[in-house]
């Protein structure tokens, strides 16, 4: 299901990059205290790795870090894919904890100087590009975290990075391997694409439906039709973008930032770029920095407002917050339309109606939130659910019929040697489409489907691939000619191609190594996605 939603080559490459890179995520600051309890689940033990219990708060720290990276990479698409990505996020968090324990078992070390250097580079702790100890201590106080606990988190992240980097960097690639990979990546095959679209059978499936079948399907789908508890909430806050839009910078401000941050505007040879050349970049960086500072100040101010305590509406008016509403959405959802950050859902989980959450600092925004309505779970009556049941049944029957047609077509062509492919297509009322298939590349009208692309190179010319389920319908290919890579272009592409091959091989080695470590770790997870 996940693969069917991610149909673009660009999106699939982004997912692949995340899976490979997730173990070496930079540390991200979170306001979260830690604790340990012997019970399983929230407040207790999240799971067992290498025979050692992992407490719930430690796991959640890692999971939030991973989720933030997914949100930044997918941006607007995260809302649509959020539920499907959650198991991946949980798995990646466990992988980081497994690798951390492996690093400890190997007795890898991160010294205090490395930790200090990493802390000084955190943008949340900088002001005008420089580390400010006062800001560090203020944020620690706000989060209820001690310097020792904070530095321990930094050390854990650096340990993971150190071990993962050693595994990846041990991989080298020879010139012949680069050439072989080039040939494979640049070869192509022309083929005839046969596509069976379920939409073509929908009308027939709809006409055949009876009232009795609809009611029987309703009775069989009660569990999936049941509507869980629903929530409505409202949240108010300011994002970094909103903060930036409200800031006014003078030319003196920008020039001062440029003068005090020469390393950020240096050329590769160490000389400083002229101010006029980088003025807009300096302005952008200064805006981001001041917006982060304003958000940190806002978080402290909101904490004080809650202590007074001021009412939700009073805080919004006093601080000029943007107010939004969302819902209804299922209680316990890890993601919901209209809610910009899962941290809002986490902060309101379990709150009584009307009660205001604590300050929600996501790093890119600061919010307060409250539940405005809780709607109890219910089972919709047949008439209300009729449309959904009917659509589901039509879709299932249309897909089943079209898949059977596709398999029958393939079997007929494969099992009747005297029957020409073109004749079989004509008899079935199908118009094969000419396509050119390359490994790792999309082709119209299918897009990128890895299994189908690879199958085009696996079967002999003139043969047929298996039937594949794609977002455009059930498809099969008949490869017809082979187009080898242009060897004359190899020298031109080698320098840019080598890093790609190295990255692929290193990621493959990392994935292979991670499977080995997972097997030894014998993870027992008590976390539900």
Confidence band of 263 (pLDDT split at 50, 70, 90): confident
Same domain, yes or no: 402 and 475 = yes
Same domain, yes or no: 97 and 19 = yes
Q: What percent of the chain has pLDDT over 70?
A: 90
Look at 20 and 243; give whichever has higher pLDDT.
243
Residue 309 resides in a domain: yes
Domain end call among 354, 375, 396 = 375
**Residue 39: pLDDT above 70?**
no
Of 495, 225, 203, 154, the residue nearest 379 (C-alpha): 225
Domain end call among 347, 375, 403 = 375
Whole-number mean pLDDT of the chain? 86
Of 103, 8, 90, 105, the residue nearest 47 (C-alpha): 90
Q: Average of pLDDT values for 142-166?
A: 85
Q: Which residues contact 499 (CB under 8 A, 6 or more apart)?
A: none
Tokens (6 digits) for 181: 């990979």
- Tokens 């398999």 correspond to 407
Asked whether the beta carbons of 12 and 74 are under 8 A apart, the reply is no
Q: What is the pLDDT of residue 521?
A: 94
**Residue 30: pLDDT above 70?**
no
Q: Average of pLDDT values for 456-476?
A: 94
Q: Which run of H or E residues covers position 258?
A: helix 251-260
Q: What is the pLDDT of residue 529?
A: 62
User: d(Cα 64, Cα 104) in Å, to the nearest integer?
Assistant: 22
Same domain, yes or no: 367 and 395 = no
Asked whether the beta carbons of 120 and 129 are under 8 A apart, the reply is no
Could you tell me the strand order of the sheet in which 433-438 lies? 433-438, 188-196, 473-483, 468-470
**Residue 7: pLDDT above 60?**
no
Q: Which run of H or E residues covers position 181?
A: helix 175-186
Confidence band of 319 (pLDDT split at 50, 70, 90): very high
Same domain, yes or no: 157 and 253 = no
Q: Average of pLDDT values for 312-318?
A: 96
Kindly write down the DSSP assignment for every residue of 115-159, as one continuous string: HHHHHHT-GGGEETTEE-HHHHHHHHHHHT--HHHHHHHHHHHHH
Residue 180 resides in a domain: no
Q: Average of pLDDT values for 55-68?
A: 85
Q: Which residues contact 512 (CB under 8 A, 6 or more apart)?
A: none
Q: Is 522 left (phi over 0), alpha (psi -120 to 50) or beta?
A: left
Q: What is the pLDDT of residue 18?
A: 52
Q: What is the pLDDT of residue 294?
A: 92
Q: What is the 3-state secondary structure (H, E, C) of 191-242?
A: EEEEEECCHHHHHHHHHHCCHHHHHHHHHHCHHHHCECCEEEEEEEEEEHHH
Same domain, yes or no: 362 and 440 = no
Same domain, yes or no: 359 and 417 = no
Residue 495 resides in a domain: no
Residue 194 resides in a domain: yes
User: d(Cα 73, Cα 14) in Å, to the nearest integer?
Assistant: 7
Q: What is the pLDDT of residue 26?
A: 43
Q: What is the pLDDT of residue 63?
A: 87
Rg (CA), the chain: 28
CATH number for the domain spanning 78: value is 1.10.4030
Strand-pair category, 230-239 with 322-330: antiparallel
pLDDT digits (tens, 9 = 90+) for 433-450: 999 999 889 999 999 999
Q: Average of pLDDT values for 74-82?
A: 71
Confidence band of 323 (pLDDT split at 50, 70, 90): very high
Q: What is the pLDDT of residue 395?
A: 95
Task: Find the Cα–Cα–Cα–Cα dihedral 10, 14, 16, 22, rounded to 10°.
Answer: 170
Task: Establish whether the linkage from the previous residue to 193 is cis, with ω within 30° of 0.
Answer: no
Residue 331 resides in a domain: yes
Residue 223: Cβ-neighbour burial (10 angstroms; 0-12, 13-18, 19+): exposed
Residue 288: Cβ-neighbour burial (10 angstroms; 0-12, 13-18, 19+): middle
Query: Phi and psi for 333 in degrees, rounded to 5?
Result: -65, 140
Q: Which run of H or E residues covers position 412?
A: helix 382-415
Q: How far is CA 255 from the centre of its chain?
A: 38
Confidence band of 301 (pLDDT split at 50, 70, 90): very high
Look at 72 and 197; give whichever has higher pLDDT.
197
Confidence band of 304 (pLDDT split at 50, 70, 90): very high
Label residues 56-93 b or e (16+ Cβ within 10 Å = b): bbbbbbbbbbbbbbbbeebeebbbebbeebbebbbbbb
Domain end call among 322, 346, 375 = 375
Q: How many domains are there within the chain?
A: 3
Same domain, yes or no: 19 and 88 = yes
Look at 61 and 510; give whichever has higher pLDDT.
510
Confidence band of 32 (pLDDT split at 50, 70, 90): very low
Which residues pair with residue 366 across a beta bridge?
Answer: 238, 361
Helical H runs in 22-76? 56-74
Q: Average of pLDDT values for 101-122?
A: 90
pLDDT digits (tens, 9 = 90+) for 165-201: 999 999 999 999 999 989 998 999 999 999 999 999 9
Residue 178 resides in a domain: no
Q: Which residue range is the domain that position 193 belongs to?
A: 188-210+385-483
Would the CA dihedral through 498, 504, 509, 510 be positive or negative? positive
Same domain, yes or no: 112 and 161 = yes
Same domain, yes or no: 354 and 395 = no
Query: Phi and psi for 314 in degrees, rounded to 5?
Result: -65, -40
Q: What is the pLDDT of residue 387?
A: 94
Same domain, yes or no: 394 and 329 = no
Q: What is the pLDDT of residue 58?
A: 86
User: d(Cα 17, Cα 28) in Å, to the nearest integer?
Assistant: 19
User: d(Cα 180, Cα 174) in Å, to the nearest integer?
Assistant: 10
Q: Which residues contact 342 (CB under 8 A, 6 or more apart)?
A: 67, 82, 334, 335
Confidence band of 146 (pLDDT split at 50, 70, 90): confident
pLDDT digits (tens, 9 = 90+) for 201-229: 999 999 999 999 999 999 999 988 999 89
Residue 328: Cβ-neighbour burial (10 angstroms; 0-12, 13-18, 19+): middle
pLDDT digits (tens, 9 = 90+) for 362-407: 888 999 999 999 999 999 999 999 999 999 999 999 999 999 999 9
Same domain, yes or no: 13 and 76 = yes
Of 64, 73, 141, 81, the residue nearest 347 (C-alpha): 64
Q: Average of pLDDT values for 140-168?
A: 85
User: d(Cα 492, Cα 494) in Å, to the nearest integer?
Assistant: 6
Q: What is the pLDDT of residue 473?
A: 94
Residue 502 resides in a domain: no
Q: Please, what is the Cα angle at 56 between 54 and 59, to 5 degrees?
A: 70
- The region of weakest confidence among 261-265, 359-363, 444-448 is 261-265
Same domain, yes or no: 112 and 74 = yes
Residue 489 resides in a domain: no
**Residue 34: pLDDT above 80?**
no
User: d(Cα 122, Cα 135) in Å, to the nearest integer?
Assistant: 11
């Amino acid at each position: 299901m996940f693969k069917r939603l991610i149909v673009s080559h660009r999106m699939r490459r982004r997912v692949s990059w995340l899976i490979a890179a997730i173990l070496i995520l930079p540390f991200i600051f979170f306001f979260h205290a830690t604790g340990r309890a012997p019970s399983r689940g929230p407040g207790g033990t999240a799971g067992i790795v290498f025979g050692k219990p992992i407490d719930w708060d430690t796991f959640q720290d890692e999971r939030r870090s991973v989720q933030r990276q997914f949100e930044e990479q997918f941006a607007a698409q995260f809302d649509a894919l959020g539920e499907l990505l959650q198991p991946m996020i949980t798995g990646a968090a466990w992988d980081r904890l497994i690798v951390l324990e492996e690093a400890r078992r190997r007795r890898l070390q991160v010294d205090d100087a490395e930790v200090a250097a990493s802390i000084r580079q955190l943008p949340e702790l900088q002001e005008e590009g420089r580390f400010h100890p006062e800001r560090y201590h203020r944020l620690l106080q706000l989060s209820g975290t001690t310097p020792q606990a904070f530095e321990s988190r930094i050390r854990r992240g650096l340990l993971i990075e150190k071990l993962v980097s050693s595994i990846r960097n041990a991989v080298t690639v020879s010139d012949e391997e680069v050439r072989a990979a080039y040939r494979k990546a640049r070869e192509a095959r022309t083929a005839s694409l046969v596509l069976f679209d379920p939409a073509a059978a929908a009308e027939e499936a709809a006409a055949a439906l009876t009232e009795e079948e609809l009611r029987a399907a309703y009775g069989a789908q009660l569990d999936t039709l049941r509507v869980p508890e629903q929530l409505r909430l409202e949240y108010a806050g300011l994002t970094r973008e909103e903060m930036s839009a409200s800031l006014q910078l003078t030319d003196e401000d920008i020039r001062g930032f440029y003068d005090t941050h020469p390393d950020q505007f240096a050329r590769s040879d160490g000389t400083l770029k002229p101010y006029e050349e980088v003025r807009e970049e300096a302005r952008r960086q200064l805006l981001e920095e001041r917006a982060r500072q304003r958000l940190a100040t806002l978080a402290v101010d909101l904490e004080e407002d809650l202590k007074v305590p001021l009412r939700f509406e009073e805080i919004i008016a006093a601080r000029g917050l943007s107010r939004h509403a969302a819902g209804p959405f299922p209680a316990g959802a890890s993601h919901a339309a209209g809610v910009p950050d899962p941290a809002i859902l986490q902060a309101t989980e379990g709150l009584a109606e009307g009660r205001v959450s604590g300050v929600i600092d996501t790093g890119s925004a600061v919010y307060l939130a409250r539940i405005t309505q809780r709607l109890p779970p219910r089972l919709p009556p047949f008439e209300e659910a009729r449309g959904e049941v009917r659509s589901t049944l039509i879709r299932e029957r249309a897909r089943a019929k079209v898949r059977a047609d596709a398999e029958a077509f393939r079997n007929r062509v494969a099992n009747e040697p005297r029957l020409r492919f073109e004749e079989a297509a004509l008899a079935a009322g199908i118009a094969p489409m000419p396509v050119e298939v390359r490994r790792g590349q999309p082709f119209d009208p299918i897009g990128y489907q890895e299994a189908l692309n690879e199958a085009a190179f696996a079967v002999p010319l003139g043969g047929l691939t298996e039937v594949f389920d794609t977002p455009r319908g059930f498809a099969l290919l008949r490869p017809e000619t082979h187009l080898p890579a242009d060897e004359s272009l190899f020298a031109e592409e080698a320098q840019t191609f080598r890093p790609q091959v190295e990255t692929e091989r290193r990621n493959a080695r990392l994935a292979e190594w991670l499977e080995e470590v997972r097997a030894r770790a014998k993870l027992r997870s008590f976390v539900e996605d």
